[in-house]
């Protein structure tokens, strides 16, 4: 793909960048969305059964098993070329923050570190009573109990209706307010506060870039739009940035 010179120039000149990712990048690694994963024994359930605080209160074993199923799906997947290109980008930009709505942990596995996982991560757990993060015994009761306080564990993800952690929202919003470039990479759910990021970036006079196959609220406000999947073009952009392109 022939990339616009203005787009490549923006990547080269950027000093403060925010990158936002979501389910679109996960899909390139073969990870099913919530609804796509509702197959086989899970076909007759919906979000109210599996992914709300009320569902956990009613049937913590079922909710734990659902997220354990999704954790195993994520563990079998491999980070995509776009995931790895983001790691290279992070090393190149002086002030960088990755804001992800994905829960699969693939960004961490690929090597990303300056990151906010707004929805949490299915690879982690925290206890119900004290929020202790920690490991669990696969052979014990379901759900397992915290090794520090004995409280039941739950996946360290944001369940529907809980809202994002305030400190994560503050960190992400502050980075957008101060950035010179914001990149929306792949299909992303237009949830607040992420849906407000284009407006915040516009007020900050930051360049807004979208790489995604379909139009969205993000592309409507973009300075540059590349209408394809991240895997098709993003590694190529980073290769140019690092002087490895044609």
Question: 76-120: per-residue pLDDT in tens?
Answer: 999 999 999 999 999 999 999 999 999 999 999 999 999 999 999
- Kindly report the CA angle at 239 between 11 and 92, in degrees rounded to 5? 50
| Domain limits, CATH 3.40.50.1220, in the chain | 5-31+79-119+163-241
Strands 120-127 and 115-117: unpaired
Cβ–Cβ under 8 Å, residues 82 and 56: no
Q: Collapse the DSSP code of 156 into the 3-class scheme (helix H, G, I; strand E, B; otherwise coil) and give the result.
A: strand
Give CA–CA dist 241/64, Å, rounded.
Answer: 43
DSSP string, 88-112: HHHHHSSEEEEEE---S-HHHHHT-
246 has a pLDDT exceeding 70: no
User: Span 5-31+79-119+163-241: which CATH code?
Assistant: 3.40.50.1220
Within 10 Å of residue 154's Cβ, how many Cβ atoms?
Answer: 20
What is the pTM (predicted TM-score) of this model? Answer: 0.95
Contact partners, residue 223, CB within 8 Å, separation at least 6: 10, 207, 208, 209
Can you tell me the mean pLDDT for 47-59?
96
| Domain limits, CATH 3.30.1600.10, in the chain | 33-76+130-157
Q: Collapse the DSSP code of 140 into the 3-class scheme (helix H, G, I; strand E, B; otherwise coil) and give the result.
A: coil
Spatial CA neighbour of 198 closest among 176, 169, 174, 168: 176
Sorting pLDDT into bands at 50, 70 and 90, what band is 245?
low
pLDDT tens-digit map of 111-152: 999 999 999 999 999 999 999 998 887 778 999 999 899 999
Tell me the CA end-to-end span of the chain in Å, nearest whole number: 11
Contact partners, residue 15, CB within 8 Å, separation at least 6: 93, 94, 95, 180
Burial of 9 from C-beta contacts in 10 A (0-12 / 13-18 / 19+) = exposed
Sorting pLDDT into bands at 50, 70 and 90, what band is 179?
very high
Segment (H or E) for 170: helix 166-178
Can you tell me the mean pLDDT for 217-240?
96
- Joined tokens for residue 216: 């969205």
- Topology (CATH level 3) of domain 33-76+130-157: SIR2/SIRT2 'Small Domain' (3.30.1600)
Spatial CA neighbour of 170 closest among 114, 207, 118: 118
């Amino acid at each position: 793909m022939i990339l616009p010179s203005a787009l490549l120039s923006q990547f080269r000149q950027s000093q403060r960048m925010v990158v936002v990712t979501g389910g679109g990048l996960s899909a390139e690694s073969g990870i099913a969305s919530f609804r796509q994963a509702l197959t086989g024994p899970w076909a007759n359930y919906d979000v109210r059964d599996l992914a709300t605080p009320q569902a956990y209160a009613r049937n913590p074993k079922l909710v734990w098993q659902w997220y354990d199923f999704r954790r195993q799906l994520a563990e079998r997947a491999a980070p995509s070329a776009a995931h790895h290109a983001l790691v290279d980008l992070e090393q190149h930009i002086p002030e960088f923050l990755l804001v992800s709505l994905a829960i699969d942990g693939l960004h961490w596995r690929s090597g990303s570190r300056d990151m906010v996982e707004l929805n949490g991560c299915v690879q982690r757990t925290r206890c119900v009573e004290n929020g202790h993060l920690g490991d669990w015994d696969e052979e014990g009761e379901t759900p397992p109990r915290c090794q520090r306080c004995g409280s039941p564990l739950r996946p360290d993800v944001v369940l529907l209706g809980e809202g994002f952690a305030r400190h994560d929202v503050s960190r992400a919003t502050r980075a957008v307010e101060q950035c010179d470039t914001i990149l929306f990479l792949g299909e992303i759910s237009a949830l607040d506060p992420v849906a407000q990021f284009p407006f915040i970036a516009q007020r900050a006079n930051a360049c807004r870039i979208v790489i995604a196959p379909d139009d969205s609220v993000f592309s409507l406000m973009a300075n540059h739009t590349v209408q394809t999947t991240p895997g098709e073009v993003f590694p190529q952009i980073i290769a140019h940035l690092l002087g490895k392109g044609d």
